[in-house]
Structure 1
Amino acid sequence: MVTCSPRSIGSSEFVNNNITHEVVVNESRCEIKINGFNGSLVPGTPVGPVSMHDVNINNNININNNNNKLSGNNIGGVHKVRGGGGGEEVTCHKCGKQFGKWENLEEHHLSKHAVTELIEGDSSRKIVEIICRSGWLKPDHNTGRIEKVFKVHNMQKTLSRFEEYRESVKTKASKLPKKHPRCLADGNELLRFYGTTIACSLGMNGESSLCISDKCCVCRIIRNGFATNREFKGGIGVFTTSTSARAFESIEVCDNGPDTRKALMVCRVIAGRVHRPLENVQEITGQTGFDSLAGKIGLHSNIEDLYLLSPKALLPCFVVICKF
């Protein structure tokens, strides 16, 4: 069994896992196995020497930036056309609407096409459900219920910010006396859960448009990304965890309005150099050289919390509305 723990900088187990790129889903055991590798991929598991967007899942479900059912598509496919006044116009590839400015197209995308609901039976939704349920204490029982799953179509600038951060982590790792293959290969990318809230009608009666309310955390994060002054927990970093149940428990509801609901965001994260164990975090915060902090939680050795020290280290891929 592959450990789902990110490696600390001093760990002798911080090695390069040469795995194949095909991932097989075993629905009966609620796990995702990697062919040619004696282990299981669960949330928090390193995805090998290549980045997650190079990993292909069977049944044409893949994780890549060009045809990515599991990482959230971007605003690609924009067409430029010559306008009547001689200037260029940009066209939304989703609906064909034309705009005179790129900024207007971005706002249109965020309000109309930023997320797509995955209906029950959809192959991508099945994968997300398996990933979520793999962290439930009793996955065979009705301990939780997934109500809605949305795929996030990230803006190109959001994807670029994420990839630029990955490259910065890799660059820092390359300058260390001791080389760590995972950091050098993909910045030590993991799959993690982030618990938050929705304060709008997203998911209700087929609604799939993002709101502009500052109180709606899901919509704000998809629009603007994670923020140091909002998502940092205890002034440490962005709190994520390896299981959906743990992430759901961590959600703090500040505004108990009629539309406020708990939600999970399935994220790709660049863990980079990880400090473990998660003790005296206030003393560790601010020290140079680490990109995240991690530690086991209580008696459950399969549950691990991970604080990302930079908000640029997270890329939301799916939004899951569920109840426990």
Structure 2
Amino acid sequence: MDAMWVYLKDKVDCRSKLSDVVYWPEKVVKDRSSALKQEDSSGEEPFQVESPVTPVHQVIFHRNYIRKRYYELSVEDSSRNVIEMIFRAAATSPSRDSRKIERILRVKHSSEILERFEKYREMIKKKAYEQHNRHPRCVVDGNELLQFYGTQMNCCSQKLNRVIELCKDFTCQVCRIIQSGFDTEYGKKYGIALSSCSTTSSGNTPAIYKGANAKRAVIVCRIIAGRVVNMVDRESEDRYDSIRVGGLYSKLEYLIVRNPSAVLPCFVIVFT
């Protein structure tokens, strides 16, 4: 599975090199900056949508934020085939996986988001190097891992030919997560719980809204895990970056990442 993921990172735009990013058109960036300045000078505040049933709440909706954040992969796309294989190989029981994939969306990022991710990686590498090479993997790449975030998506009805934009439904956890970059009040307080298993719901999701259009979804993420400590062995916070939970008496294991800058959503898989 790791080999497939390395191949995929090199093939599509979810990768480390900033020169490989699909940048937003210059006109869009200028228009957005100009509009935001006008909004600030007018004294108007961006409206806020709060969710009473999900931890993904208190996300700010700027009137001019870029909504076109998805690119849907067609069935003929070779990248989609690789993602499907990764998704099924990471199931609890891969040989008995009967889930039906409805859509696979690639998440598009601005240069800002990728720069934030790479700066966090460099910070982790520097910390590891200063600790006399006690964390060799961190020195190399910040201990980058492939992880899954199980959640739901409400804006991917079968009636839609393609999904390309973030919706404004406060119960659609996928769109709120992509919009906020996992930077929510809940995440700051409890961390971001991800898993190496594609069949588990995220530990960040204590309540799921059962709407008519709600679909199960998994966000495939690149994460910079840094120095990982087991939950039972927790030390002072400056000595670790992520916490491993579970795995001793259960196959299910979560990795709780403390900093949203360490998580880069790459693909969204919608399934039944």
Question: TM-score, normalization: structure 2?
Answer: 0.75
**Aligned partners of 1:120 and 1:292: how far apart in 2?**
36
| Count of matched residue positions in the alignment of Structure 1 and Structure 2 | 243
Q: Using CA pairs below 8 Å that are at least 6 residues apart, which structure has the higher relative contact order?
A: 2
Cα deviation for residue 123 of structure 1 reads 0.5
Cα deviation for residue 74 of structure 1 reads 4.2
Q: How does 1:212-251 map to 2 (within 5 A)?
A: 212-231=168-187, 235-247=189-201, 251=205
**Aligned partners of 1:114 and 1:299: how far apart in 2?**
39
Instruction: Kindly provide the CA deviation profile for residues 252-281 of structure 1, in whole angstroms up to 9, marking residues without a partner as x.
Output: 4432222222211000000000002x337x
Between stretches 284-293 and 250-259, larger displacement belongs to 250-259
Unaligned runs of 5+ in 2: 37-61
Matched, 1:100 2:31: yes
Cα deviation for residue 174 of structure 1 reads 1.8
Structure 2 contact 91–97 (Cα < 8 Å) conserved: no
Change (3 A) 1:204 1:102: farther
Question: Match of 2:218?
Answer: 264
One-letter amino acid matched to 1:173: A
**Aligned partners of 1:248 and 1:262: how far apart in 2?**
12
Cα deviation for residue 132 of structure 1 reads 0.5
One-letter amino acid matched to 1:287: E
Give the one of 256, 260, 268 matched to 1:311: 260
Instruction: Kindly provide the CA deviation profile for residues 50-95 of structure 1, in whole angstroms up to 9, marking residues without a partner as x.
Output: xxxxx4x2xxxx425xx6345497441634xxxxxxxxxx258xxx
**Aligned partners of 1:248 and 1:226: how far apart in 2?**
13
**Aligned partners of 2:139 and 2:34: how far apart in 1?**
35
Q: Which has the higher helix share?
A: 2
**Aligned partners of 2:266 and 2:73: how far apart in 1?**
12
Match of 2:167, SS state, is: coil
Give the one of 92, 110, 134 matched to 2:89: 134
Identity, in percent, stands at 31
Q: RMSD over aligned Cα, in angstroms? A: 3.2
Question: Match of 1:7?
Answer: none
**Aligned partners of 1:148 and 1:253: how far apart in 2?**
23
**Aligned partners of 2:159 and 2:207: how far apart in 1?**
19
Instruction: Report the structure number with the largest CA radius of gyration.
Output: 1
Matched, 1:174 2:144: no
**Aligned partners of 2:235 and 2:110: how far apart in 1?**
30
Q: Which has the higher strand share?
A: 1
Q: How does 1:102-181 map to 2 (within 5 A)?
A: 102=33, 110-111=66-67, 113-181=68-136
Match of 1:279, SS state, is: helix
